[in-house]
Amino acid sequence: MLSWLDEAGGAYAAQCCDTPRMVTLKMSETTFKKPVRPGHLIKIYGGVCGVGTTSVCIRLEARRHSPYNGTQRSVCETEITYIRVDGDGEPIPLADKVRARYGSETKN
């Protein structure tokens, strides 16, 4: 589940920041609310909770989806911070348009 969250969050961070070069900096406390078993359908939802000069914080929620009745139950929540990096893996600033887009959620 943690791997799925990190992969989904990284893809979402790359989309939000208009760059394919995002790496995981940290994962906050992860709360597992319900069990997930092999065969369960999992949907992961995300949102930007803050941006910095080189980083973006993504809030993620995983939900167990029932194909029988369409209901969803929250099974896990976390926040993951990703950093934009150059070809050498060094942090570089996010584009101004990205910081402007998510400016109301700016973090220090």
Distances (CA, A) of 90 to 22, 53, 86, 87, 97: 11, 13, 5, 7, 21
- Provide CATH code, domain 2-103: 3.10.129.10
Q: For residue range 8-54, list pLDDT tens digits in order.
A: 999 999 999 999 999 999 999 999 999 888 888 999 999 999 999 99
Residue range 57-89, pLDDT digits in tens: 999 999 999 888 889 999 999 999 999 999 999
Instruction: Name the DSSP letter for residue 91.
Output: B
User: Which of 13, 7, 66 minimizes the C-alpha distance to 42?
Assistant: 66
Q: Which two tokens stand for residue 55?
A: 């980083």
Q: In the numeric block, which tokens belong to residue 74?
A: 């929250």
